[in-house]
Amino acid sequence: MRIVTLPTALCKARLSHKRRPPSRALAGLLQRSWEHLVNLLFPPHCVYCGCFLPEHLGLPLFCTSCTERFRSVGIPFCSGCGTPGSVFSLVDQICLHCHLQRRPFDCVVTLGVYDGDLRQAVLRMKRITEEPLVVSMGILLAAELSELLGGQLPDAVVPVPMLWSRRVRRGTNNVGILAQAVAETLQLPVLSNCVRYQRNCKKQSSLPIRLRRQNVQGAFRAAARYDIKECHILVIDDVMTTGATAGEVTKVVKAAGAAKVTVAVVARGIRA
């Protein structure tokens, strides 16, 4: 039997989340009544296209059309790096590049390709006013993870960190909110400060492909207070292009003792 050790506060939070006292049913009834009242006074709308959502209760706040746009159903993705391909370019769901070169992470899950509406959604998610969009996208990503991983869900969620200067400039940490939404949906603890920057880096999207790995090499460190030995860790980011950032975070997490790392991103960019 494998024992997973997590911070005491997180363990208590997780255990208390699973307790269902007798008054829980009444609280649930009151909550649903409140949600019905709020929806009556403030009818819900899709957080991406703005269309009215008739008889829509709960999250994610996406209309059917937007949900279909964001989930690239029918496109095969490499399970090793998340790169979209074809049934002819993947062998055992793995692309040729992953067959030839082993990556730090063990698996990548993505909603779709970084293009069109999904690209626009990711760009909007970086704004402080778009937090409802981030939360809804996190719930959609959690559903994808649950479907693909089944009963093999990770033990904890770790968001890719954001530089403090960038967080101050934006006024929000969209990846942190995304990770929190995924964690709450899957009922997993989120280790928000498990991985941190230990030096400043340039923005990856501002650099050519060949310089991105060098830019983040050795940029992260793991916090000593988290015991993640033998854990399966889920690393969350909004978009992946070269995999350099997710790879560096994975190395740090595995050096801290993690046995397996799955990376989940909203969109997978195509390398030039």
pLDDT in tens, 56-90: 666 788 999 999 999 877 788 888 888 887 655 77
Distances from the Cα of 234 to the Cαs of 31, 106, 179, in angstroms? 30, 10, 9
pLDDT, greater one: 46 or 99: 46
Q: Which of 236, 240, 241 is nearest to 264 (CA)?
A: 236
> Tokens 């307790």 label which residue?
19
> Tokens 């159903």 label which residue?
73
Sign of the four-CA dihedral 256, 209, 87, 77: positive
Mean pLDDT for all residues in the chain: 84
In whole angstroms, give the CA distance from residue 272 to residue 269. 9
pLDDT, greater one: 30 or 98: 98
Q: Which of 70, 86, 71, 102 is nearest to 243 (CA)?
A: 102
- With beta carbons less than 8 A apart as the criterion, state whether 192 and 225 touch: no
Instruction: Please report which confidence band the pLDDT of residue 30 belongs to, taking 50, 70 and 90 as the band edges.
Output: low
Residue range 223-238: mean pLDDT, rounded: 94
User: Is-cis flag, bond preceding 60, omega within 30?
Assistant: yes
**Residue 164: its pLDDT value, please?**
86
Instruction: Please report which confidence band the pLDDT of residue 245 belongs to, taking 50, 70 and 90 as the band edges.
Output: very high
Residue 100 has pLDDT above 50, yes or no: yes
Residue range 136-152: mean pLDDT, rounded: 93
Residue 32 has pLDDT above 90, yes or no: no
Q: What is the pTM of this model?
A: 0.81
pLDDT, greater one: 141 or 25: 141
Return the DSSP state at 205.
G
**Residue 96: its pLDDT value, please?**
82
In whole angstroms, give the CA distance from residue 37 to residue 57. 11
For strands 232-240 and 260-268, give the pairing: parallel
Residue 269 has pLDDT above 80, yes or no: yes
In whole angstroms, give the CA distance from residue 136 to residue 46. 10
Q: Which of these ranges, 22-31, 100-109, 137-146, 204-213, has the smallest mean pLDDT? A: 22-31
Query: How would you classify residue 137: left for phi > 0, otherwise alpha for psi between -120 and 50, otherwise beta?
Result: alpha
Return the DSSP state at 73.
T
In whole angstroms, give the CA distance from residue 128 to residue 69. 23
In whole angstroms, give the CA distance from residue 186 to residue 181. 9
Distances from the Cα of 89 to the Cαs of 84, 95, 107, 268, 272, in angstroms? 9, 6, 18, 17, 17
- With beta carbons less than 8 A apart as the criterion, state whether 238 and 174 touch: yes
- With beta carbons less than 8 A apart as the criterion, state whether 255 and 227 touch: no
Residue 33 has pLDDT above 70, yes or no: no
Instruction: Please report which confidence band the pLDDT of residue 102 belongs to, taking 50, 70 and 90 as the band edges.
Output: confident
Residue 233 has pLDDT above 90, yes or no: yes
> Tokens 């049934």 label which residue?
87
In whole angstroms, give the CA distance from residue 112 to residue 267. 5
- Phi and psi torsions of 233, nearest 5°: -105, 135
Return the DSSP state at 207.
S
Residue range 215-219: mean pLDDT, rounded: 89
Neighbours of 202 (CB within 10 A): 11
Angle formed at CA 213 by CA 204 and CA 128, multiple of 5 degrees: 25
Instruction: Please report which confidence band the pLDDT of residue 107 belongs to, taking 50, 70 and 90 as the band edges.
Output: very high
